[in-house]
Each structure stands twice: as C-alpha cells, then as structure tokens.
Amino acid sequence: EIVLTQSPGTLSLSPGERATLSCRASQSVSSSYLAWYQQKPGQAPRLLIYGASSRATGIPDRFSGSGSGTDFTLTISRLEPEDFAVYYCQQYGSSPTFGQGTKVEIK
C-alpha cells in the first residue's frame, strides 16, 4: 500500500497569501497518478488537479500542482475566501489511497 503523508496538518493564512501544500508518498507514484481534492464542510470532495499537474474542468488557474515520483505540491497562488477548506491528495493507481488532509484556515 502506498502511504501518502500530507504536510502541514493545518495552514493558517490570510486571503491574498500564497498556500503551499505538500504530499509525500512512501513509494513512487506511477504514471503521475496523483490528484488533489478540495473538501468543504458537509460537501463531497471536488477534484482540483489530476496527473499531478493538470487542472480539472472549471478550476481557476490560481490552483497549480507539481511534482513527480514521491514528492508532490499543490500551490494556491492567492487565497480567495472560498479556498479555505481541507485539501486531500490521492494516488489513484491499482489500489488508491488518500493523504490525511491539510486544513487551510483563515489566520
């Protein structure tokens, strides 16, 4: 099983600031099968990034993903009020797993 470790657990930032979220895998994630999701309270997650760096349909370009192998990053260039949420990374290979999540909260 590929274990994904996200850091930090909580990120306290102000609107307009840059957010950098990390996702580290216990072994290499093949074919960049790495996605990022955003989840708000009481809602299902929403796909932001797939293939490590491709934005999903309708996702603003302030969201970007990078990385390969075992180290991946989600960057939100300038936080908007609606971006405060929990973010999960996922590897979606033959046996998918999720990271434990990073909460982005208002400072």
Residues near another protein (CB under 8 A) are 1, 31, 33, 35, 37, 44-47, 50-51, 54, 56, 88, 90, 92-101
From the CB of 105, what's the least distance to another protein, in Å?
Answer: 15
Q: Report which of 18, 59, 22, 69 is spatially closest to residue 38, judged by C-alpha positions.
A: 59
The nearer residue to another protein, 9 or 16, going by C-beta atoms, is 9
From the CB of 14, what's the least distance to another protein, in Å?
Answer: 25
Q: Residue 104 in contact with residue 79, Cβ under 8 Å?
A: yes
The nearer residue to another protein, 45 or 67, going by C-beta atoms, is 45
Residues written for the chain: 107
Sign of CA dihedral 99, 1, 68, 91: negative
The nearer residue to another protein, 77 or 97, going by C-beta atoms, is 97
User: What gap in Å lies between CA 82 and CA 80, rounded to an integer?
Assistant: 5
